[in-house]
A and B are shown apart, each in its own frame.
Chain A
Amino acid sequence: MFTIFRFTFREFFTRKVLLVSLIMAAVFLGLYWTGVFYAVRDIEKAQNQMLASVIYPQLLLFGLYFGSFIVSFLAILSSAGIISSEVESGVIQAVIPKPVSRSEIVLGKFLGQGVFLAAYAALLFAAIYAIIYTKTGMKLTGSGEAALLFSLQPVVLMSVTFLLSVLTTTVASGMVAFMLYAVAVVGGVIEQIGWFMNNLSLKNAGIVSSLIMPVDSLYRKIVHVMLPPASNPMSAVQQMGPFGSSAEPSLWMVTYAALYILAFLGLSLYYFAEKDI
């Protein structure tokens, strides 16, 4: 299994995936830093503490939300062909007859891919955190827990995309994974609106979408971990809008996300073991 794990991990460094990912992150962080820099400069100039306490958290949420976008896109793009592209090209025909079990191949690829994505997400989170902390001086809580949750997001998406890659073609698995991600994002926004309007149907729609794809719930949990409402009288204002989180997802939702990953890993192991190449 470690041979496949090392190889999958190494593949990121040798192929263009890492370079493209780094360019994506650099462009995003560059724009983000520029936005934060000018916003903070103007607010400091105006010496408006009220504005600062509303805008600074919004800047953080904006960074985390679009940072999540980037790691999610990377998770889907890099996982859509993890098995299917090797089946389509025939590369896997030279690997399976070797003395490695199919479960070793799946576990090695899953871990290699998962560790890379989690590490990438953690670094992106650290960069966003550093920009916000150095520019605004905001005191943020639970950054360690938030970093873990942030790193879990691409792994959740990867686990679904991995199974799709076992079952279908690269194009089909990428498309379905993007659709599922869209369900999560739209569901998350609908739930936010539901809480804002106190509409049960919209809230339920959001909960169902979180069960289908729990990645957005993890983001909302991060928001609550970093901006806990109990210690903040401005909380209601800060949590408004699509990037906020009006209701904190429970710990069960995080547990659900972890079980979700394990379930999709189990299904990938089962279906790959049965697959005719």
Chain B
Amino acid sequence: MSLAIQTDDLTKHYGSQVGCRQIDLSVGRGQIFGFLGPNGAGKSTLVKMLAGLIKPTSGTAAILGERLGNIGVRRKIGYLPENFSCHEWLTGRQLLEFHASLYKMDRGTRSRRIPLVMDLVGVSGAAGKKVKTYSKGMRQRLGMASALLPDPDLLFLDEPTSALDPLGRREVREILVGLRERGKTIFLNSHLLSEVEMICDRVAFIRGGRIIAQGDPGEMGADHMVVELQLQNLTGGLLDKIKASARIISSGGNTVRVAVANKEEIPALAEVVVRGGGRLYRLAHEKVSLEEIFISLNKEGD
């Protein structure tokens, strides 16, 4: 599979502070790749390095087969920064005309693409209005339109739906899925894990500037299972024994929720409960959401 993004030991230091450390990522073409992590983990640092806004301290990266920093390849890249800002004295259409000229689009392509992307993100009605009159959500949509302007092969989106209402989020998801169907690659930075789970083919988790896990969201879920136990005689001693064999997510009343690495650990867990004097009434395992994997991975690191 040809790669849209490949990084090798990509590292960024801000003085003595670490932005990203030894990032090795491979993102195949035609994928939606979710990049997840808590605030300050280094998500935006990596995206900014890939978009050419900041320079890596060490390591290498290739974008659509070209080395990082290649100007020509940027014609095939769209980028939506977090909190999209723009020249507010322009109208929405004028802003896109300016961005189109930065993409060195000819007049014909410009007049075709600008109405198309404005329509796609739902800001056609405000095309002639000054950007300063736009709401936060409309600006985000306009930023999306700018990123989509060159019909990019690779799209970097940094929190693209943070300013949007649920309807707007759904529209953006549909746009992204539509782009994937056309073979486009999307690198998605988001806090909205349920959204990422819905559309991403692969995800990576970053913490403290390092990638701590990556893979298919479904497969990652298989490695992290949640088991809910309903039992009587739940004493402190029994809780300690459960804790020794699995990580407790929550406990209250007669219910305990624990995380186990895989299905094979479930019989042993039941045995611990029974041997510890607990009367087990119900044991159920659930599919783990990306959110629970995210929380679990972050707790593991603490």
Q: A residues engaging B (CB < 8 A)? A: 3, 7, 11, 14-15, 89-91, 93-101, 274, 276-277
Given A91-B87, A99-B75, A276-B48; 12 other pairs, CB 8 A cutoff: A3-B98, A90-B81, A90-B84, A90-B85, A94-B79, A95-B102, A97-B77, A97-B156, A98-B99, A99-B102, A99-B103, A101-B71
Contact between chains at A96 and B99 (CB < 8 Å)? no
A276 touches B54 (CB 8 A): yes
Using Cβ atoms and an 8 Å threshold, which residues of chain B touch A15? 89
> CB within 8 Å of A: which of B87-119?
87, 89-90, 98-99, 101-104
Residue of A nearest to B101 (CB): A3
Most buried by B among A11, A94, A274: A94
Q: How many A-B residue pairs have CB under 8 A?
A: 63
In this complex, how many residues of chain B approach chain A with their Cβ under 8 Å: the count is 30
How far apart are the CA atoms of A233 and B54 in the complex, in Å? 63
Complex Cα distance A3/B97, Å? 11
Q: For the complex, give the distance between the alpha carbons of A7 and B90 in Å.
A: 11
B74 — which chain A residues lie within 8 A by C-beta?
97-99
Residue of A nearest to B72 (CB): A99
Identify the 5 closest CB pairs spanning chains A and B, nearest first.
A90-B85, A98-B102, A99-B74, A276-B54, A97-B79
Chain B residues with CB below 8 A from A91, complex form: 85-87
Minimum distance in angstroms from B122 CB to a CB of chain A: 19
Whether B83 contacts A90 by the Cβ 8 Å rule is yes
Q: How far is the CA of A14 from the CA of B75 in the complex (A)?
A: 28
Q: Which residues of A contact B98 (CB under 8 A)?
A: 3, 7
Q: Is B146 an interface residue (CB 8 A)?
A: yes
Quick one: which of A97, A100, A277 has the most chain B CB within 10 A?
A97
Is the CB of B138 closer than 8 A to any CB of chain A? Answer: no
Q: How far is the CA of A95 from the CA of B52 in the complex (A)?
A: 10
Q: Which residue of B lies closest to A276 (CB)?
A: B54
Per the bound structure, the CA–CA distance linking A64 and B84 in Å amounts to 44
| Chain A neighbourhood of B146, CB < 8 A | 94
A93 near B81: Cβ-Cβ < 8 Å: yes
B186 sits at the interface (CB 8 A): no
Measured CA separation A132–B87 after assembly (Å): 41
Query: How far does the alpha carbon of A100 sit from the alpha carbon of B27 in the complex, in Å?
Result: 25
Task: Give Cα A93 to B99, complex, Å.
Answer: 12
